[in-house]
Structure formats: structure tokens, C-alpha cells
Amino acid sequence: MVTPFRGHDESEDSSNKGNFLELLKFLAYHNEGIKDVVFKNAPENLKLTSPDIQKDLVYAAACETTNAIMFDIGDDAFFSVLVDKSRDISVKEQMAVVLCYVNTNGQVVERFVGIKHVPNTTAISLKEAIDQFFSVNGLSISRLHGQGYDGASNMQDDGVSLDQRGEADILLNLLQSFDFVSSLFLMKEILGITNVLSHALQKKVLDIVSVMALVKACKQQLQAMRANGWDAWLDEVSSFCGKHDIDISDMNDIFVARGRSRRRVENLTNLHHYRVDLFIDVIDKQLQELNNRFNETSTELLLCVACLSPDDSFSAFDIEKLVQLAEFYPKDFSDMELTLLEDELKNYIFDMRLHNEFSALKGINNLAQKLVETKMDRQYPLVYLLVKLALILPVATASVERAFSVMKIVKNPHRNRMGDQWLNDSLVVYIEKYVYDSISNDVVIRRFQNMRTRRGQL
């Protein structure tokens, strides 16, 4: 278990006073200047070690960390917002927010900027929380160019995502042993098909070309399994049950769900239940989930984005599709700029293939950095704008999911009563530790001193 910031016992005789006091003791031991003003050497009413002081210090550090992120984004840069929600150890719904943007070096940056308790996960509650966050941090909605939701998919849905409904239907079938094995083997088959795509979507920097190829492959495999996989799947389930002395349902018998009266049961055979209600239905739900996440419009958008790829000397380059990509952003490309973009693209591709430093590039992210490095982002501003818009497309929310993994470390069963602000501040500093390291102590101390009237100065 990670040692808490505060200890359960912070008395002088305690062997573990928590991270704050233990670190302060370590600093005092190695620095005479600190030793002279802390613990017993500090005035009785000015020790600055109380729980409130500790919270204020972390709040000051979190505020300055968030400010540094906002400064890095700048006043006119575009960004996308990635949102996910999860329950913490105390069963409170928490909404995490990550901002994705392209910095001045052409690098794609994803920054965790906060977690907020929401009373429920309705679209209205999540929208209000996001609006409040934008207001507090001075972010303009006009610069928002993409929103990605995963567990918070009810922003576009009815409150239960399609994959959750599929899992719920499967779990209902776990009441019977043959049902359990059938469901288990079906999930194994589907996970085997979708696992590679899942790993690809969890990467911080996505290869759009590879992702689209994997999406297409997943759909084709699921369709093939739906059309021709029933017999092989049933044989595998039956073989496993036979080896482990599990009763195998007769496919010609009438299926009766456990807990239902036989008098009111529909005359459906086990064959219909397992083939239609389980096998085909679950595969259809997975296909529907893929089609919803990668619908016709988003697929076309991503295929257009793939034309920016520098792989194989820009072999995927297509002027018509890239102009079409710009048309997806009418607020950023006027009719005049669309015409200029087409001319710019003609010169751009000639220039790219002429310079050796661009010939071996892989991925749009590396392209953006090389354009900035060679100052060609200024020579081809409209093309570079397309590249930036492509890089902040919210295809996956893996960064937000990683934030929830950290939340389980910070707010665990041993310290499950953390307040919302305390949790938020701890997570911001912990997750964005490299940003925090770039901030001077004087800046944090100045904010801490200005938060309220204090008896002394640090």
C-alpha cells in the first residue's frame, strides 16, 4: 500500500507519520536551514503541519500545475476533451477530464486536468461539470475541436452503453452450467478478435491507418463468425463439457430460463436460444458497438486523415480526400481557404517528396514535429492546421482510463474518506508530476501565502 499523505498517527512517537511529515523530517535532517524552523524549532502556533495546511499546500501545487498546462495550450490553440467516468472506492461517480492538444513543437500532448464528483452520469450532469471546468480555467468552447466519451457514453446514448448491455445479457446466462461455458467460450472468441484493436486504441499516439485497417478486419471476422462459426463454436463448447462431466443441453429440447414459469414460457428450442439469443445476438451487439464508434461519417473522416500519413513517402496522399477533410471543419476553413488549401497541397506534396528528411517519417505525429522543426509549418499553414486537427481527434480515451488506475492508488480502502477537492488536487500533482517538477517552489509558496491570511511567511 502506498503511504498516505497524512498519517493515522502523527504524534512524535509514531513510527510512520505519513508522507508529509516523514518527508519534512527527511529534509530537516539534511538541511540545517529547514531544521531551524520546523517541528520543535517552530513557534507553537506556526508549525504549518496541520491537515488544513497540508491540503492548502497540495491545492496550491495543483493550481499551479493546471495553470502551467493552460499556459502550454496557449490562448488560440485547438484542443479536444476526453471524458470518462468511474466509481471510486466509496462508490461515488467521478468524472475525469483529459485535454489533448498540439504544442508549439508539433507534439501531441495529453494532460490530465482534473476529476470531479458528479451526482449522476446523465448528459446534463456531465455537461454542467465540463462547462464549469471550462469557466474556471478560462477555456473557450470555440477552441474545442473534439469530445471523446467512453464510460460516459450516455452523452450520446441512453445511459447504458451497448457493450454494457451485451455484458448484462451474457451475465444472465451464467446461472446454468452449460450456459456458463457457452458464454465463456463466446466471450473468448470475441476477445480474441477484438483484442488487437483494443491494444491499438490504448496507445497514446494512434496510427490512424493501422487502426482503420484493424477496425475493418474486426468487422470482417465478426461477420464471418456470425455466418459460419456456429458449428465450430458449439463443437468446442460440447467437447469441453464432455471432458468435464458437464451436462450438455439437447438442442431440440424446449428452452426454459431459470426462474420463469414453464406455463408461460415461449416454445423456443435450446437451439434457437443458444444460436439466436446468445451467439448471434452477442456478435450483433459487438458489431453494433463497432459501427457506432466507427460510423460512416467518422470512418470517412479517419480515412481522410490517413491521407496525411507520411509513411512510404506519402503513398496515401490524396488531395481530394484532404480537401474533403477540411470540409469537415467549416469554421476553420472558409470557401476561399479551401481553394487555397488545394493549391497549397500541390506544392506541399512536391516539397515533401523532394526533401530526404521527410522520406523516412512514420506517423502523423512525427510529421507534425518535423514540419515545425524545418519551419515548413509556416510555409504551409493550412496543411499544418489539418495535421493539428487530425492529431487531436478523440479516437480513444486510454489516458483517462489510466487516471482511474491512479485514483485507485490514491483513494484506496485504507483512505476512502478523501474529499473531492483533496482527491482532485492529489491526482493532478501525482499524474502530471513532470509538469509540477517544472514549477518553481517560489511560485507554489506565493500562491499558498495568498490563499488566506497566515501568521507567518514560508
Cell of 307: 491521407
Report yes or no on 404 lying in a domain.
yes
Report yes or no on 34 lying in a domain.
no
Confidence of residue 324 (pLDDT cuts 50, 70, 90): very high
CA atoms within a 13 Å half-sphere pointing along the CA-CB vector of 156 = 13
Angle in degrees, 0-180, between the axes of helices 281-293 and 208-228, rounded to the nearest 10: 160
Burial class, 52, CB count within 10 angstroms (exposed 0-12 / middle 13-18 / buried 19+): exposed
Q: How far apart are CA 59 and CA 71, in angstroms?
A: 18
Angle in degrees, 0-180, between the axes of helices 177-201 and 230-243, rounded to the nearest 10: 120
Q: Of the ranges 119-133, 231-245, 372-386, which is most confident?
A: 372-386
In this structure, the answer to whether residues 232 and 127 fall within a common structural domain is: no
Tell me the residue ranges of DSSP E strands in 214-306.
none
Over range 45-53, report the average pLDDT. Answer: 70
pLDDT at residue number 150:
56
Q: Sheet containing 144-149: which strands, arranged edge to edge?
A: 108-117, 93-102, 79-87, 144-149
Name the 3-class secondary structure at 385.
helix
Contacts 24+ apart (CB under 8 A), 277-283: 278/170, 278/173, 278/182, 278/183, 278/186, 279/186, 279/230, 279/233, 280/226, 281/169, 282/166, 282/169, 282/170, 282/186, 282/190, 283/190, 283/222, 283/225, 283/226
In this structure, the answer to whether residues 76 and 183 fall within a common structural domain is: no
In this structure, the answer to whether residues 319 and 435 fall within a common structural domain is: no
In this structure, the answer to whether residues 274 and 383 fall within a common structural domain is: no
| Among candidate residues 16, 15, 103, the one with its CA nearest the CA of residue 6 | 16
Which of 245, 274, 294 terminates a domain? The answer is 294
**For the chain, what's the residue count?**
458
Phi, psi of 243 (to 5 degrees): -70, -25
In this structure, the answer to whether residues 94 and 131 fall within a common structural domain is: yes
Cell of 233: 463454436
Report yes or no on 283 lying in a domain.
yes
Q: How far apart are CA 127 and CA 186, in angstroms?
A: 37
In this structure, the answer to whether residues 177 and 267 fall within a common structural domain is: yes
Lowest mean pLDDT of 161-170, 182-191, 411-420, name the range: 161-170
Report yes or no on 13 lying in a domain.
no
Q: Is the pLDDT of residue 401 over 80?
A: no
- Which residue's C-alpha cell is 474545442? 144
In this structure, the answer to whether residues 240 and 320 fall within a common structural domain is: no
In this structure, the answer to whether residues 144 and 72 fall within a common structural domain is: yes
Report yes or no on 15 lying in a domain.
no
Name the 3-class secondary structure at 376.
helix
Q: Is the pLDDT of residue 15 over 80?
A: no
Q: How far apart are CA 162 and CA 191, in angstroms?
A: 16
Q: Is the pLDDT of residue 118 over 60?
A: yes
Report yes or no on 4 lying in a domain.
no
Q: Which domain holds residue 246?
A: 162-294
In this structure, the answer to whether residues 346 and 316 fall within a common structural domain is: yes
How far is residue 60 from each of residues 190, 250, 384, measured CA to CA in Å?
A: 47, 67, 37
The whole model's pTM is what?
0.71
Report yes or no on 49 lying in a domain.
no
In this structure, the answer to whether residues 221 and 288 fall within a common structural domain is: yes
In this structure, the answer to whether residues 242 and 271 fall within a common structural domain is: yes
In this structure, the answer to whether residues 170 and 288 fall within a common structural domain is: yes
Do 52 and 58 touch, CB atoms closer than 8 A? no
Lowest mean pLDDT of 96-105, 132-141, 161-170, 403-412, name the range: 161-170
pLDDT at residue number 83:
83
Burial class, 185, CB count within 10 angstroms (exposed 0-12 / middle 13-18 / buried 19+): middle
Over range 345-361, report the average pLDDT. Answer: 92
Q: How many domains does the chain have?
A: 3
Cell of 299: 470512418
Do 123 and 154 touch, CB atoms closer than 8 A? yes
Q: Is the pLDDT of residue 166 over 50?
A: no
Share of the chain above pLDDT 70, in %: 79
Which of 271, 294, 317 terminates a domain? The answer is 294
pLDDT at residue number 61:
93
Over range 230-246, report the average pLDDT. Answer: 87
Q: Is the pLDDT of residue 299 over 60?
A: yes
Do 452 and 52 touch, CB atoms closer than 8 A? no
DSSP codes, 83-109: EEEEE-TTS-EEEEEEEEEE-TTS-EE
| Among candidate residues 87, 80, 141, the one with its CA nearest the CA of residue 113 | 80
pLDDT tens track for 55-64? 888 899 999 9
Report yes or no on 36 lying in a domain.
no
pLDDT tens track for 208-227? 667 777 888 888 999 999 99
Which of 273, 294, 315 terminates a domain? The answer is 294
The helix (run of H) or strand (run of E) holding residue 222 is: helix 208-228
| Among candidate residues 26, 50, 20, 68, the one with its CA nearest the CA of residue 437 | 68
CA atoms within a 13 Å half-sphere pointing along the CA-CB vector of 303 = 13
Alpha helix stretches (DSSP H) within 156-280: 162-172, 177-201, 208-228, 230-243, 270-272
